[in-house]
Amino acid sequence: MLRCPVCVKKDMVVLELDRVEVDHCLACGGLWLDAGELELLVDAPDKATALATLFSDLSDTAGETARPCPICGAKMVKQATVSEPPLVIDRCPAGHGAWFDDGELQTLFSCLKCGAENRVFSLLQDMFAARIQTSIKGG
């Protein structure tokens, strides 16, 4: 079981999103995707190809804490999209995968214009909506 790179001492649970197992922290809502899983979730060759050019390393990471890769423990690098506002994610420098804070994966799917026809996008909307409702109710 992998530990959350944000909560550090919390184990993550494994969720299956459209036949892809992702690690999810119940405490902070973040998601860990192993290498190649993001492309599988996008499920559209043109959008998966766009992922390769969507992110670039940040030179200025002021205010961003370096997080450990849940697999190898190395400090992950910050990468951002060119969109405004930029979406900043954490990637393992050894290529093990990427960390998405609560809601970031949903935001990425919106940037890629993955609409309701994408099963994972719909599932993420449902998952995050349930989390937001729980937070509002104080649960």
Residue 132, pLDDT above cutoff 50? no
Q: For residue 4, tell me if it sits in a domain.
A: yes
pLDDT of residue 41: 80
Structure tokens, 14: 């494994």
pLDDT digits (tens, 9 = 90+) for 66-75: 899 999 999 9
Bridge-based pairing state of the strands 97-100 and 13-17 = unpaired
User: Which domain, by its residues, includes 90?
Assistant: 1-33+70-119+126-131
Please tell me the distance from the alpha carbon of residue 4 to that of residue 55, in angstroms, as a whole number. Answer: 22
The tally of domains found in the chain comes to 1
Task: Give tens-digit pLDDT for 103-127.
Answer: 888 788 777 665 555 566 666 666 6
| AA identity, residue 121 | F
- Whether 57 maps to a domain, the answer reads no
User: CA-to-CA distance for 93 and 87, rounded, in angstroms?
Assistant: 18
- Assigned token pair, 113: 């214009």
